[in-house]
Structure 1
Amino acid sequence: MVQMTATPLSALADEPVRIRVTGLTPYQTMCFHASVKDEKEDLFRSRAYYRANEYGEIDLERDAALGGDYVGIHPMGLFWSLKPEKPLTRLLKKNVMNSPFQIQLKLSDPQLPIKTKAAQVPKASLTLERWYVAPGVTRVFVKEGRLRGALFLPPGEGQFPGVIDLFGGIGGLIEFRASLLASHGFAALALAYHGYEDLPFPLEKVDLEYFEEAANLLLRHPKVLGPGVGIISICRGAEIGLSAAIHLKQVTATVLINGPNFIIDVPHIYRDKILQPTPFCLHLESTDVFGFTEYYRVYDETGFKDSRYFLPIEKAQGHFLFIVGEEDKNLNSKVHAEKATEQLRRHGKNNWTLLSYPGAGHLIEPPYAPLCRASRLSSLSTVIHWGGEVIPHAAAQEHSWQEIQKFLRKYLMPAGPSQL
């Protein structure tokens, strides 16, 4: 009898699952199918072919995929190779608290790509639950003064290191990363700053005092460790994260995922100081063969060489973790991170770590999330090319997620090194 097992059947979305099959004919070739629907009922699918060993067993931790959506030994390949049936769709969890993603896993004989009236009956099937909150994690909506967000707290009395989570041009309130961080012991504030409730859209300026208020809100909470907070940020969020780390004494550890070392297009304001955006050359906006817009060459060499537009990162008193996807087609994030670290080095600073991943694109997320190569933003009329290659992008997500947590613990826990 053919039997398929997945251990565990219910787990956090960033935790690995071991998939095994027994009861096959020795050396039999089989096809695994995975599918999931998001909250809009958009369907994502993946498949991979495997051959059983001499005992009629397949173990995805041991055996190599022979073809399909990936090749080689990749125990979680069926998850990160999921592709949308509807083009330009990103698998994004909106409601993190009440329901998991349900991954349907089926095992069948290989079939030629011929349409038949009757669907093939699978040899075995399973449903796996992928949660974005661990048991006991609580979520508190934040609506204090002008602040808008959601605070996720781990179970227990605390205290926990506090982290502000910032996304980019997508706008709104994005919670899946903060909820996973809380599941691993962080007090994580998913902070909206444009395009949510009464917050402006489009963004006309970045008021750093808003983010200072968020840091102070965290530090006042009885379950949050002091004396400082961390920031995890991507894209425009990383632009703001860098600026906040420079200007706000409360910020002591900053994760910058594929961000610039300058202000992109709207001024930053802190008290009586105004920081202007960098001039850019629109003619360097380009499209790929599919007509997707690429912005990574928009900022010309003059802008790169003119230090007046570089954010003064050397003034920051905390620590930085730069995470770079070398195939980022939205920002030339590798160059931006190298410029920022050169600037720190010139000023005698060693308060940074740079992780640069060949083949990874712009949207580096927690592990096992499928690569989104291109999608639409509500603020733009064009399709944005995010870049990345499936297998190296997946590897970058798995490695960087562990490094992010190590970094935040190191510099936010009391036993960590003192600030520079």
Structure 2
Amino acid sequence: MDMASSQIRLKILPSARCLFNNRVQIKVEGLAPHKPVELRSRLVDDRGVIFKAAAQYKADESGQVDVCRAPSLGGSYTGVEPMGLFWSLAPETPHTKFLKKNVLSPILVEIEALSGETGKLLASETNERGFMVEGMKRIPVETGRIRGVLFVPPGKGPFPGIVDMYTFGGGLTEPRASLLASNGFAVLALAYLGYKGLPKNPDSLDFEYFEEAVTYFRTQPEVKGPGIGIISISHSGCMAVAMSSFLSGISAVVCINGCVANTVLPLRYKDIVIPKLTPNVKNWKVTDSGLVDIRDSTPDPILEENRASLFPIERASCQFLFAVSEDDHNWNSALFAKRAAEILRNNGKDSFKVVTYPKAGHFLEVPYMPHCPSTFHAAVGRDVVFGGEPKVNSEAQLDLWEKVLEFFKSHLGNKRTASL
């Protein structure tokens, strides 16, 4: 076949439609041999923010670029990076975090091949990256005070259950919950601030709300007992530690860059009030670009003056997986995980694992989620540094996702194989 006269084609393999956390292969065929080609990717999130990446390639002797084999020679990343056009996507609007509100529609990633010499568009294709496998149910939950969304996998239940909570002020996020459900778990994405009538700026958090949510979830016919899992990140990590300390029926907790003590708001439970750790604003730093670095403002919770804010994690009877990013600039996650491990160990418990990611930032999301090094912080009221480098952050997200699935399968009794 005469490659010079053939049509240029951009292929997304094995299919242009896949789950958001799945890897694809991008190939361009029918190019002139050894000619430069630019590959571009673009998506628009639910806020209307455009995310873009671009990389320079050179066609091989057969007029082909296969990103699984060919190195990028420049642009958003360099070297052989099969998913580089996805993990290096960066917002056109600075300090913006990728937002996907509900997961009924896929994220559309446009991939284009352009001539490296003229800039002319040669071929394009769209990768539909979805969140729900066929037959999955997405059920909005508004029962009593509880607000959230329940995801139920296809097939005959009941399924091992997980409560998924996100960050302070984040309302509700569905991508992680839906992708966990794609792996055979019933998942309740639980909101606890500023969502569908939930208080936006309360003076304190009512812990009985979390207790009600766990009770509700455990009694759903789709949820297999006896215990459930919790996955959390940032402020919700504190809530997950509190839930495991005070509530029964919790078997496995994933705490991603969380804290072993109460933060941001006092927590009320029956006649107990757990004060918040008071941040030391004097320790804020301002970067050259005007962002706030708050990493060192949250104090060590085991110091005498802070101990009232500690949750009694030693009372927990679950297994813990603490994920720690060493370049987390939201707070010192490594120290907090160390403190949690010390308390558990000192109480004769070895029911925890700490996994550490050097150079990763605060937000460890599902695989191939665009990296967020800085954005608005609801508790600070300003744009802050969250840390991390895109490539290592992406690698950490991939690794952690596999560890999370394995952790929940082994401790919640789900024997299904993951559709990674």
- Select 1:87's aligned residue among 80, 84, 94: 94
**Cα deviation 1:314-366 (Å, max 9, x = unaligned):** 21100111111111111111111112112222222111111111111111100
- Specify the alignment match of 1:405 in structure 2: 405
Give matches, 1:256-405, under 5 Å: 256-300=255-299, 303-306=301-304, 308=307, 309-378=309-378, 380-405=380-405
- Specify the alignment match of 1:3 in structure 2: 9
Moved more, 283-292 or 398-407: 283-292
- Select 1:49's aligned residue among 56, 67, 82: 56
**Cα deviation 1:239-289 (Å, max 9, x = unaligned):** 101111111111111110111111113222333322222233221122222
- Specify the alignment match of 2:3 in structure 1: none
SS at match of 2:295: coil
Shift of 1:225: 0.6
SS at match of 2:180: helix
- Specify the alignment match of 2:68 in structure 1: 61
- Specify the alignment match of 2:137 in structure 1: 138
- Specify the alignment match of 2:177 in structure 1: 178
Whether contact under 8 Å (1:252, 1:412) holds in the other structure is: yes
Shift of 1:13: 0.7
**Cα deviation 1:196-239 (Å, max 9, x = unaligned):** 12211114323222112111212211111100111110111001
Task: Give the TM-score, by structure 2 length.
Answer: 0.92
Whether contact under 8 Å (1:202, 1:379) holds in the other structure is: no
Shift of 1:380: 4.2
**Cα deviation 1:80-123 (Å, max 9, x = unaligned):** 111111122221111211x21111100112259xxxxxxx4311
For residue 153 of structure 2, what is the amino acid of its counterpart?
P
Report the Cα distance in structure 1 between the residues aligned to 2:164 and 2:293, rounded to whole angstroms.
25
- Specify the alignment match of 1:232 in structure 2: 231
**Cα deviation 1:150-180 (Å, max 9, x = unaligned):** 1111111211111111111233222221111
- Select 1:107's aligned residue among 97, 102, 113: 113
Report the Cα distance in structure 1 between the residues aligned to 2:58 and 2:158, rounded to whole angstroms.
49
- Specify the alignment match of 1:249 in structure 2: 248
Report the Cα distance in structure 1 between the residues aligned to 2:303 and 2:377, rounded to whole angstroms.
30
- Specify the alignment match of 1:116 in structure 2: none
Query: Once the two structures are aligned, what percentage of the paired residues are identical?
Result: 37
For residue 104 of structure 1, what is the amino acid of its counterpart?
E
Report the Cα distance in structure 2 between the residues aligned to 1:145 and 1:22, rounded to whole angstroms.
57
Shift of 1:42: 1.9
Moved more, 341-350 or 356-365: 341-350
Q: Any stretches of 5+ residues in structure 1 without a counterpart?
A: 113-119
Aligned residues: 407
Task: Give the TM-score, by structure 1 length.
Answer: 0.92
SS at match of 1:225: strand
- Specify the alignment match of 1:38 in structure 2: 45
Report the Cα distance in structure 2 between the residues aligned to 1:347 and 1:377, rounded to whole angstroms.
35
Supply the RMSD in Å over aligned alpha carbons: 1.8
- Specify the alignment match of 1:115 in structure 2: none
Moved more, 318-327 or 33-42: 33-42
For residue 305 of structure 1, what is the amino acid of its counterpart?
L
Report the Cα distance in structure 1 between the residues aligned to 2:68 and 2:363, rounded to whole angstroms.
26
Report the Cα distance in structure 2 between the residues aligned to 1:157 and 1:415, rounded to whole angstroms.
14
For residue 273 of structure 2, what is the amino acid of its counterpart?
I
Whether contact under 8 Å (2:258, 2:333) holds in the other structure is: yes
Shift of 1:54: 2.9
Report the Cα distance in structure 1 between the residues aligned to 2:153 and 2:166, rounded to whole angstroms.
21
Whether contact under 8 Å (2:264, 2:379) holds in the other structure is: no
Whether contact under 8 Å (1:35, 1:105) holds in the other structure is: yes
- Specify the alignment match of 1:117 in structure 2: none
SS at match of 2:334: helix
Report the Cα distance in structure 1 between the residues aligned to 2:277 and 2:380, rounded to whole angstroms.
20
Moved more, 305-314 or 157-166: 305-314
Report the Cα distance in structure 2 between the residues aligned to 1:381 and 1:266, rounded to whole angstroms.
15
**Cα deviation 1:47-92 (Å, max 9, x = unaligned):** 0112233332222122221111011221111011111111222211
Q: Any stretches of 5+ residues in structure 2 without a counterpart?
A: 1-5
Shift of 1:379: 5.3
Moved more, 262-271 or 99-108: 262-271
Whether contact under 8 Å (1:225, 1:413) holds in the other structure is: no
Report the Cα distance in structure 1 between the residues aligned to 2:303 and 2:69, rounded to whole angstroms.
49
Report the Cα distance in structure 2 between the residues aligned to 1:367 and 1:153, rounded to whole angstroms.
21
Q: Does 1:129 align with 2:128?
A: yes
Whether contact under 8 Å (1:48, 1:67) holds in the other structure is: yes
Moved more, 183-192 or 201-210: 201-210
Whether contact under 8 Å (1:364, 1:397) holds in the other structure is: yes
For residue 292 of structure 1, what is the amino acid of its counterpart?
L
SS at match of 1:211: helix
Report the Cα distance in structure 1 between the residues aligned to 2:46 and 2:264, rounded to whole angstroms.
33
Whether contact under 8 Å (1:4, 1:124) holds in the other structure is: yes
Whether contact under 8 Å (2:102, 2:173) holds in the other structure is: no
